[in-house]
């Protein structure tokens, strides 16, 4: 069985659980085409930005980070430019998959799987499961929203805007 090394450190446990479930759903959705895979999860926190930026050199295959993350600006990577969250109160801060540049077939697989779970509503179900309680507590429909721009977004993500109220 093939194994994928998913670096999932430097974030809250809530994000770790959601992002792990999302990756596993993407991979499972493509099992028929690509075969099963084992996901090895590394939740190591790297306090030094350079250590995080060099995660692919240390063997990681895939991670989730903010689109346009400055730590990765001059690093080789494959970006799957589809937001994995719905934005935070109008600020375009999309989380996306970054894939090791030597793993183009993994990037293709995850992108296909992501499209499948979006089409069959599993993406929405996962988002609701991991973030639904927070959405209710925030009571966003009764709050004033200030829409901001994010100058660090890569061109392929420039269309992103928060959609928590959708």
* pLDDT at res. 11: 87
Interval 63-77 mean pLDDT:
92
Average pLDDT, the chain: 87
* pLDDT at res. 135: 63
Proportion of the chain above pLDDT 90, given as a percent: 58
* pLDDT at res. 75: 95
Long-range CB contacts (< 8 A, 24+ apart) of 47-53?
52/9, 52/10
Report which of 36, 71, 69 is spatially closest to residue 52, judged by C-alpha positions: 71
Helical H runs in the chain? 13-28, 31-34, 49-53, 104-119, 122-138
9/3 Cα distance (integer angstroms): 18
* pLDDT at res. 164: 52
- For the domain 2-157, what is the CATH code? 3.40.190.10
Interval 105-134 mean pLDDT:
92
Domain range list for the chain: 2-157
* pLDDT at res. 153: 73
Proportion of the chain above pLDDT 70, given as a percent: 81
Reported confidence tier of residue 161, pLDDT bands at 50, 70, 90: low
pLDDT tens-digit profile of 24-60?
999 999 999 999 999 999 999 998 999 999 999 999 9
């Amino acid at each position: 069985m093939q194994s994928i090394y998913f670096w999932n450190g430097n974030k809250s446990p809530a994000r770790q659980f959601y992002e792990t479930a999302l990756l596993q759903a993407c991979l499972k959705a493509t099992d028929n085409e690509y075969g099963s895979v084992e996901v090895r999860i590394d939740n190591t926190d790297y306090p030094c930005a350079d250590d995080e930026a060099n995660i692919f050199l240390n063997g990681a295959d895939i991670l989730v980070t903010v689109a346009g993350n400055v730590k990765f600006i001059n690093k080789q990577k494959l970006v799957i430019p589809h937001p994995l969250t719905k934005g935070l109160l109008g600020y375009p801060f999309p989380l996306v998959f970054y894939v090791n540049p030597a793993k183009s077939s993994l990037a293709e697989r995850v992108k296909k799987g992501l499209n499948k779970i979006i089409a069959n509503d599993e993406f929405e179900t996962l988002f609701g499961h991991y973030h639904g309680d927070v959405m209710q507590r925030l009571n966003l429909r009764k709050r004033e929203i200030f829409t901001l721009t994010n100058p660090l977004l890569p061109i392929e993500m420039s269309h992103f805007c928060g959609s928590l109220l959708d």
